[in-house]
Structure 1
Amino acid sequence: MFLVASVVVFAVFFANVALGAFAGSAFLGDIGEMLVLFAASILFVVAILKKEADQKSKNQGS
């Protein structure tokens, strides 16, 4: 769930950067762009930590 959310938020960031570079009409400003990239990074870290915790608990259960 968190990994999918991370990909979606990063896609919003990428779309904003691509529109700004090619069409000159980015829909987020500098602060909004920073916050979206920060949110994508945090969601990705949470997804990886949850996956690591699940793997660790699976290995300890065996």
Structure 2
Amino acid sequence: MFLISAITLFAVFVANVLVGALGGAQFLGDVGEMLLLFAASVTFVLAILRREAAEKSDRS
């Protein structure tokens, strides 16, 4: 679930950057973009940590 959330948040970030690069009006400002990238990073780390914990518990 966290991995899907991270992918979705990152996709929104990339879409915002692409819209801005192609000359359109970005739908997020600088702070919103930073918070979105931070949220994507945090959810990705949570997904990785949960997966590692699940693998560790499966081994024992």
Offset of 1:21 from its aligned partner? Answer: 0.4
- Flag the structure with larger Rg: 1
- Number of residue pairs the alignment of both structures matches: 60
Identity score, percent: 58
Aligned CA-pair RMSD: 0.6
Q: TM-score scaled to structure 2, two decimals? A: 0.97
Stretches of structure 1 that go unaligned for 5 or more consecutive residues are none
What is the distance in 1 between the residues matched to 2:23 and 2:11?
A: 17
Separation in structure 1 between the aligned mates of residue 25 and residue 7 of structure 2, nearest angstrom: 22
Runs of 4+ deviating beyond 6 Å:
none
Comparing 1-10 and 19-28, the one that deviates more = 19-28
